[in-house]
Amino acid sequence: MRFKLGLTGSIGMGKSTTAAMFADAGCVVWDADAAVHRLYGAGGAAVAPLGAMFPQAIIQGEVARDALREIIATDQTALSHIESVVHPLVQQDRETFIADHPGSIGVFDIPLLFETGGDAAMDATVCVSVPRETQEARVLARGTMTAEDLARILARQMPNEEKCARATYVVETDTVEHARAQVQTVLKDIERRLQHA
């Protein structure tokens, strides 16, 4: 792979939309959440080892995320056990993706990129960002969570300001046109860096 770009940003910041813009511009995109879905799905590599630990989490041959959440809520050691199984499998999935795209610029959509230290494996990082009010309005408009749910999620993550400060690039997703223009600027800079490498 010619270049590995880590893409991150909190919920409601426009990360998925920005990832699609990089894909439209010719990048290959690896999505951490999608990798976990593959691992949890029927025949996925995480089903057997998680089933051995928590049989109640397996429903119709798949890992049920709701059941895992309940287990984590009631057992303080559960999360570290689950992560000890899932993280190496996700890492393997990512390594396979890198090997399969030798000539590409790869964008790695990882929600907890900085929190997990995943940025160390990247050539550069980009954080998507909007003001807190915009973020809250977007998330609440989905109708899937309350302001309290959002506050709980954000409390577990690195603050947006800190992510932006650590990132190589910041993409403001206030409008689609503005975000797309910034994606093009990032890619031009990456091409320039590759030519001078």
Residue 5 has pLDDT above 90, yes or no: yes
Q: Which domains does the chain have, with CATH numbers?
A: 1-27+104-197 (3.40.50.300), 33-102 (no CATH)
For the chain, give the mean pLDDT. 95
154-183 average pLDDT score = 96
Question: What is d(CA 147, CA 175) in angstroms, rounded to the nearest whole number?
Answer: 23
Q: What is the 3-state secondary structure (H, E, C) of 120-170?
A: HHCCEEEEEECCHHHHHHHHHHCCCCCHHHHHHHHHCCCCHHHHHHHCCEE
Q: Is the pTM of this model over 0.95?
A: no
